[in-house]
Structure 1
Amino acid sequence: MKPSIPVIPVQQARLYEDVLTLTSIQPPRHYLNLDSLNAIAGYIAHELGKLNCKVEYQKYKAQGREYKNVIATFGDVSKQMVVVGAHYDVCGDQPGADDNASAVAGLLELARLVNELQPALSYGVEFVAYCLEEPPFFATPFMGSFVHASSLKETNTQVKAMICLEMIGYFSDEQNSQHFPVNALRYVYPTTGNFITVVGKLSQLGLIQKVAGHMREVSTISVQSFSAPKLIPAISLSDHRSYWQCGYPAVMINNTSFYRNPHYHQPTDTIDTLDFDKMEQVVKGVYWAMVNI
């Protein structure tokens, strides 16, 4: 029997406030600015601490410095869990509104929704805000997501699915605003960059379709899905890759990044470039997918 769809009260004001906090901190939250990273980790932990969940830091060292993941746990994760994650660091001297404050705001709002709506789940949920997704640590064991995924593997924790939020705030209604790694894809996907994508490995097509399908049930935004062999670089450019490395099923929710957003890794990646109406629809869709996965 198909579950009835509740009202999913995503609050744009909270999304905006979270993005504003992350993008306003100076100096920017990249790996050399530990005070800024710690301040943002503290903000995330404070917001999650308002909810009825367990909140903790997962601390680890890279190049002699200490970094932190922030983890919020709802329900019993000892038998099986769903992981929802987003990184809070930036690549350089940039505000990082889309990359990746948008996703952190989405992560916090999803946790608030779970706390408010209290869905009846047969699995626990961990929300994880990661540090060190960006260079020079990308694709290394020092990625916060790899630290988290490895810790789950070491304890033989069952992960039903991992959902990675990566750049969910930038959209464009201009024609031909969407670009592609292979030109032939323009005949398969929209050429206007006003959709969200569910991305994953070809071998996990069922999970991709399930997540995308549930998102479409509640979202007014167009939800596209993209699956490809793992050897295609574009599908593994975020924290979900760490869970693949540990043998866990994972997908990425993404607005196609630099194939659409001209502000990617630039000082112009500012809050005024984001579309909070569409962000709201993305979060609403991810919530529904997360509780029905």
Structure 2
Amino acid sequence: MVNDPTTTTSDAWDPVVDPARLRQHVEFLASAPRSRRRAPHIMERAETYVHNELAAAGWLVERQPFDQRWRIGSTDRHGHRALALKPRLHRRLRGANLIASLPGSTDRPVVVVGAHLDSVSGSPGADDNASGVAVLLETARLLSGMQVPPPVVLAVFDMEELGLIGARHAARELGRAGGVLGMICLESVGYFADTPETQRLPAGFERFFPQASAAARRGGYRGDFTLVVHRRSSAVAAELWRRAAAAASPALPSLLLRDPRPDGPLGMVIGLAVPPAGHLGRSDHAPFWNRGIPALMLTDTANFRNPHYHRATDVPGTLDYERLASVTAATAVTAVSWPDAVL
């Protein structure tokens, strides 16, 4: 039985979500490009910052290194073209994810809230993806204040820009024995544009996703919403997030987009054959989908809205921290509410 998601709002979280704290996180992380291979010292500095912030909020943080050989991925060179369209074969990649949980959390299957820490070369990556990490850190602070620790795990992924390398490792490790109920991916969530004609659509999108395309058209192609990409398996969570965002302050409109592909390897293969659908798997939720785990991707649509995508101009001053606070509130509510909503 699916519970009524209309009973869940973000009202209780609004007073404690701090836009200034979100900006502080972004400004620290986006001081320079972050990369395990190209800027290891900056990446280590960012990792230490995230680790310390999570620990200070009361989370138990585990650093999980990985060593991958002969992995098909992508290049992390800067440029406006989507990196999924720049395939590379990596001989060896050594990195590390950060995985955090609250002391005393139950043995119930968990909801994973994840964001990638790295950026492409030449870009400080304020939106992509210091914005997502900032939301994760503020979510950590909110959830640590709950009387009963929720069944939530926070995951900070390495090497997303090289082809979701860290998330692939984490999905395999966390997904063993069915321990993950669902996953929320925070991917470029801080750029908004109220001017008409600022939201673009991928080639072929209108044909495959006519309802979402019509909604964007009715809105004058304004980039003032958060896109919530989901599948049938995560439709309840997507609706939870939409309602929580609408109840936040400021209220944040969202556009729910259902990926028609099934979870598991078949969905990945279909994405290769249908490029508009392939765009829906361009972040760290995709490895969870591929392992049959329900997942959401929250995004401002990256290069389809943000002119600074993967460029040196992706700096903290371009983001909207009030609306980023609403993203945080809705994410916290959804992470806590998802387990009960699917009972």
TM-score by length of 1: 0.90
Output the CA distance in 2 between the equivalents of 1:120 and 1:216. Answer: 26
Question: Does 2:48 match 1:48?
Answer: no
Q: 1:221 aligns with which of 252, 270, 291?
A: 252
Contact map agreement 2:245 2:252 (CA 8 A) in 1: no
Name 1:178's counterpart in structure 2.
Answer: 199
1:218 deviates by 2.8
Residue 188 in structure 1 maps to residue 215 in structure 2: yes
Contact kept? 1:73, 1:127, Cα under 8 Å: yes
Q: How many residues align?
A: 283
What whole-Å deviation, never above 9, does each CA across 1:13-36 have from its counterpart, x for those lacking one? 1111110111114xx212312222
Question: Is 1:88 matched with 2:117?
Answer: yes
Pairs within 5 Å for 1:1-293: 2=7, 5-8=11-14, 9-25=16-32, 28-32=33-37, 33-62=39-68, 63-64=91-92, 66-74=94-102, 75-76=104-105, 78-116=107-145, 118=146, 120=148, 124-135=151-162, 137-138=163-164, 143-154=165-176, 156-181=177-202, 182-183=205-206, 185-189=212-216, 190=219, 191-219=221-249, 220-230=251-261, 231=271, 232-293=277-338
Matches of 1:164 and 1:93, distance apart in 2: 24
Q: Tell me the CA shift for residue 97 of structure 1.
A: 0.4
1:76 Cα deviation from its structure 2 partner: 2.6
Change (3 A) 1:175 1:80: same
Which has the larger displacement, 273-282 or 81-90?
A: 273-282
Query: Which SS does the other structure have where 1:18 is aligned?
Result: helix
SS at match of 2:114: strand
Is 1:203–1:229's contact at 8 Å kept on the other side of the alignment? no
Q: CA deviation at 1:100?
A: 0.2
Give the drift of 1:223: 1.6
Task: Describe the SS at the equivalent of 2:175.
Answer: helix
Answer whether contact 2:13 2:329 (CA < 8 A) is retained. no
Preserved contact between residue 23 and residue 97 of structure 1 (Cα < 8 Å): yes
TM-superposition CA deviations, 1:110-141 (whole Å, max 9, x none): 0011113x1646x5111111100003x34xxx
Closer, same or farther: CA 201–148 of 1 in aligned 2, 3 Å: same
In structure 2, C-alpha distance between the alignment counterparts of 1:64 and 1:7, rounded to whole Å: 43
Secondary structure (helix, strand or coil) at the match of 1:83 reads: strand
Q: Distance in 2 between matches of 1:246 and 1:146?
A: 10
Shift of 1:209: 2.3
How far 1:80 moved relative to its partner? 1.1
Distance 1:245 1:119, change over 3 A: farther
Shift of 1:221: 1.2
Deviation string 1:211-236 (CA, Å, 9 cap, x unpaired) is 32333233511122111223311111
Identity %: 31
Q: Go from structure 1 to structure 2 and tell me whether the alpha carbon gap of 1:193 and 1:291 turns closer, same or farther (over 3 Å shift).
A: same
C-alpha distance after superposition, 1:67-123 (max 9, x if no partner):
11111102435331110000000121110000000000000000011113x1646x5
More RCO (CA 8 Å, sep 6+): 2
Q: Which moved more, 1:93-102 or 1:197-206?
A: 197-206
Distance 2:132 2:31 in 1: 16
Structure 1, gaps ≥5 residues long: none
Runs of 4+ in structure 1 displaced over 3 angstroms?
Answer: 1-5, 62-66, 183-186
Q: Is the 8 A contact 2:8 2:243 kept in 1?
A: no
Q: Note if contact 2:227-2:300 (Cα within 8 Å) is conserved in structure 1.
A: yes
Aligned partners of 1:201 and 1:235 also within 8 Å: no
**Shift in alpha-carbon separation, 1:211–1:149, aligned structure 2, 3 A:** same
Structure-1 separation of matches of 2:8 and 2:325 = 22
TM-score under structure 2 length normalisation: 0.77
Give the letter for the 2:30 counterpart.
T
The root-mean-square deviation of aligned C-alpha atoms, in Å, is 2.0
